[in-house]
């Protein structure tokens, strides 16, 4: 039998607010354990939560950017369970009436039609603290509770079970990741858990319209692992069914070292969270004016910008895709175009030398030592014939190292292109005299030797001879 995989993703997005969701404690990562706590996030009796407005603003932005409706009156709920990192005994989350509902993202895999993936809901919630194990200050080989992370704001983005392969899941996830980082509401760091995903996976016979029983895979903290975990899980379920077994609803953990998932708890052991509205928090009312203001303040989103690069700047689709990979890169590119004018020339350099140098040195585009203005200046030197495209690469490397302006480097190192035919002719004459054999070969019809002469002239001029002039003069002279 053939099987159809079905996948739905639940993504936790940690928000980049300065303070926590229900108290004023800082959210900074990596501080001394329990140094960023107060009675609210410690869960002391009687302490009252106060909602951080920034969290609501970020949630609205995320919702509008994923085509959701914003709920006019949304409710916070208590999700009750016991764990040492959760001193209150419940997590404040949203259950019924989450802030964003019924959205979607369009994905497109190479060579396939655009496909719309439904987003069921986006809700706000607080994170729990964490347990630390080992040798701790004042505690040999023990376990401690660090509540610095408790009450850190999260969005949970829940998709419909619309995804049909691991590739579709990764494509959806990458797009969501791009949007939240683009909006500046999440740093997107998957290793540190700022953007983490649970994958719900089931299989059903092809043609069936009843979804199979799903397993929920936790702890997949990279795009690569998401793909691996889903593929492993699909195959595990198919093998199980083929062997006459049935898939049970359970939570599984992905082990990146083994590339496998294993059972964590079955449905029978699943929590009954006994959700109920949190009496400490009033309903959150968001009027149309607030929503419209947020909509107006949204930046141009990656997809719109990609389209504009194609239609307005005439970039090929590939370039537009690469240059909108993140917001800072697309802004760098646009600043370069504004200063130079030729979008394709700027695109080539940004995707070429700039990207290569950033990767080699592990530098972020925000810290690029060659600013868009300096890059534009370099391109103008090529346009004006002052330097050749080849020399420009040398100049670029020097700009990268020293941060100097290109015209300064060209002057200091005497890199001005030689276009003067007299000077080039002199070089050519010398090379022809020294290579009489090759001249004969060329004249005898072996045209390949032409490249040899070009190479010799460029070498003799230390790359400074204007290639167009060299070609023309060589053609004339070699003819004899
Ligand atoms: P829970 O909160 O218990 O995990 P939800 O009903 O909120 O349950 O569903 C969570 C996720 O599971 C959603 O992303 C949804 O799309 C997905 N999902 C639901 N049913 C299936 C299924 N049969 N196969 C795959 N994914 C599913
Ligand atoms: Mg779930
Ligand atoms: Zn606090």
| pLDDT tens readout for residues 230-241 | 999 999 999 999
383-386, long-range: CB < 8 A, 24+ apart: 383/342, 385/417, 385/419, 385/466, 386/410, 386/416, 386/417
Question: What pLDDT, on a 0 to 100 scale, did the predictor assign at position 268?
Answer: 66
Domains of the chain with CATH codes: 3-290 (no CATH), 300-413 (no CATH), 421-478 (1.10.10.410)
Encoding tokens for residue 450? Answer: 């032409």
Asked whether the predicted pLDDT for residue 86 surpasses 90, the reply is: yes
**Using CA positions, which residue lies closest to atom 3 of ligand 1?**
216
HSE at residue 403, side-chain half, CA atoms within 13 A, is 3
Task: For the chain, give the mean pLDDT.
Answer: 94
Give the separation between CA 406 and CA 381, rounded to whole angstroms: 8
Residue with tokens 């969290």: 55
3-class state of residue 361 by DSSP: helix
Confidence of residue 80 (pLDDT cuts 50, 70, 90): very high
Question: What pLDDT, on a 0 to 100 scale, did the predictor assign at position 432?
Answer: 93
Average the pLDDT over each of 62-66, 268-272, 440-444 and give the range with the smallest value. 268-272
Give the separation between CA 310 and CA 323, rounded to whole angstroms: 11
160 lines ligand 1 (CB under 6 A): yes
Give the separation between CA 207 and CA 190, rounded to whole angstroms: 36
* SS3 per residue for 126-165: ECCCEEEEEEECCEEEEEEEECCCCCCEEEEEEECCCECC
Tell me how crowded residue 134 is: count the other CB atoms within 10 A of its CB.
Answer: 10
Asked whether the predicted pLDDT for residue 475 surpasses 70, the reply is: yes
What distance in angstroms lies between residue 88's CA and the mean position of ligand 2's atoms? 21
251 lines ligand 1 (CB under 6 A): no
Confidence of residue 468 (pLDDT cuts 50, 70, 90): confident
Give one DSSP letter per residue of 47-58, joined into a string.
Answer: ------HHHHHH
What distance in angstroms lies between residue 216's CA and the mean position of ligand 2's atoms? 7
Confidence (pTM): 0.88
Encoding tokens for residue 122? Answer: 């986006």
User: 153 Cβ partners below 8 Å, 6+ apart?
Assistant: 14, 15, 17, 20, 21, 27, 52, 55, 58, 124, 125, 126, 127
Mean pLDDT of 419-437: 91
Report the percentage of the chain scoring pLDDT > 90. Answer: 86
Question: What pLDDT, on a 0 to 100 scale, did the predictor assign at position 138?
Answer: 78
Residue whose C-alpha is closest to residue 278's, from 121, 53, 102, 51? 51
What distance in angstroms lies between residue 360's CA and the mean position of ligand 2's atoms? 40
What distance in angstroms lies between residue 189's CA and the mean position of ligand 1's atoms? 25
Sign, CA torsion 119/121/125/129: negative
Question: What pLDDT, on a 0 to 100 scale, did the predictor assign at position 271?
Answer: 74
Question: What pLDDT, on a 0 to 100 scale, did the predictor assign at position 13?
Answer: 98
Tell me how crowded residue 218 is: count the other CB atoms within 10 A of its CB.
Answer: 16
For residue range 228-271, what is the model confidence (pLDDT) as tens digits?
Answer: 999 999 999 999 999 999 999 999 999 999 999 999 887 766 67
Asked whether the predicted pLDDT for residue 1 surpasses 90, the reply is: no
Average the pLDDT over each of 39-43, 200-204, 228-232, 390-394 and give the range with the smallest value. 390-394
For residue range 279-311, what is the model confidence (pLDDT) as tens digits?
Answer: 999 999 999 999 999 999 999 999 999 999 999
Residue with tokens 């208590």: 78
Tell me how crowded residue 8 is: count the other CB atoms within 10 A of its CB.
Answer: 22
156 lines ligand 1 (CB under 6 A): no
Which ligand is in closest contact with the Cα of 152?
3
10 lines ligand 1 (CB under 6 A): yes
Sign, CA torsion 49/55/57/61: negative
270 lines ligand 1 (CB under 6 A): no
**Using CA positions, which residue lies closest to atom 4 of ligand 1?**
216
Mean pLDDT of 125-150: 91
* DSSP H or E segment with residue 107: strand 100-107
Residue 332 region by backbone torsions, left for phi larger than 0, else alpha for psi between -120 and 50, else beta: alpha
Question: What pLDDT, on a 0 to 100 scale, did the predictor assign at position 272?
Answer: 87
181 lines ligand 1 (CB under 6 A): no
464 lines ligand 1 (CB under 6 A): no
Backbone angles phi, psi at 418, to 5 degrees: -95, 115
Residue 159 region by backbone torsions, left for phi larger than 0, else alpha for psi between -120 and 50, else beta: beta
Which ligand is in closest contact with the Cα of 34?
3
147 lines ligand 1 (CB under 6 A): no
What distance in angstroms lies between residue 74's CA and the mean position of ligand 1's atoms? 22
Asked whether the predicted pLDDT for residue 450 surpasses 90, the reply is: yes
Mean pLDDT of 58-87: 97
């Amino acid at each position: 039998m053939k099987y159809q995989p079905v996948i739905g993703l639940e993504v936790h997005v940690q928000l980049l607010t300065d303070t926590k969701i229900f108290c004023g404690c800082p959210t900074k990562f990596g501080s001394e354990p329990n140094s960023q706590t107060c009675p609210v996030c410690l869960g002391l009796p009687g302490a009252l939560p106060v909602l951080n407005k920034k969290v609501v603003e970020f949630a609205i932005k995320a919702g509008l950017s994923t085509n959701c409706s914003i709920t006019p009156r949304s409710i916070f709920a208590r999700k009750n369970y016991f764990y040492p990192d959760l001193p209150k005994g419940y997590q404040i989350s949203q259950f019924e009436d989450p802030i964003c509902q019924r959205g979607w993202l369009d994905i497109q895999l190479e060579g396939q039609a655009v496909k719309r993936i439904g987003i069921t809901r986006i809700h706000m919630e607080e994170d729990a603290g964490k347990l630390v194990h080992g040798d701790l200050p004042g505690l040999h080989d023990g376990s401690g509770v660090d509540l610095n992370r408790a009450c850190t704001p999260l969005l949970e983005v829940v998709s419909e079970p619309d995804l049909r392969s691991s590739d579709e899941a990764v494509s959806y996830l990458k797009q969501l990741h791009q949007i939240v980082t683009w909006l500046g509401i999440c740093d997107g760091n998957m290793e540190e858990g700022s953007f983490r995903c649970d994958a719900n996976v089931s299989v059903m016979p092809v043609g069936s319209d009843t979804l199979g029983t799903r397993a929920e895979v936790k702890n997949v903290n990279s795009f690569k692992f998401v793909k691996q975990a889903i593929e492993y899980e699909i195959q595990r379920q198919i093998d199980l069914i083929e062997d006459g077994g049935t898939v049970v609803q359970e939570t599984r953990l992905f082990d990146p070292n083994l590339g496998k998932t294993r059972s964590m708890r079955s449905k029978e052991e699943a929590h009954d969270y006994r959700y109920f509205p949190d009496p400490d928090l009033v309903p959150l009312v968001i009027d149309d004016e607030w929503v419209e203001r947020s909509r107006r303040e949204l930046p141009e989103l990656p997809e719109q910008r990609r389209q504009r690069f194609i239609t307005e700047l005439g970039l090929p689709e590939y370039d537009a895709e690469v240059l909108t990979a993140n917001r800072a890169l697309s802004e760098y590119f646009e600043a370069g175009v504004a200063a130079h004018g030729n979008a394709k020339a700027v695109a080539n350099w940004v995707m070429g030398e700039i990207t290569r140098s950033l990767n080699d040195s592990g530098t972020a585009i925000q810290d690029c030592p060659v600013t868009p203005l300096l890059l534009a200046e370099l391109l103008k030197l090529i346009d004006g014939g002052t330097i050749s495209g080849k020399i420009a690469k040398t100049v670029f490397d020097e700009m990268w190292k020293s941060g100097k302006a290109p015209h300064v480097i060209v002057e200091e190192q005497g890199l001005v292109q030689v276009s003067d035919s007299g000077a080039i002719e002199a070089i050519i004459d010398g090379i022809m005299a020294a290579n009489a054999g090759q001249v004969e070969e060329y004249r005898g019809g072996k045209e390949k030797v032409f490249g040899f002469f070009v190479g010799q002239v460029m070498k003799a001029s230390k790359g400074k001879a204007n290639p167009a002039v060299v070609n023309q003069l060589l053609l004339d002279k070699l003819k004899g």
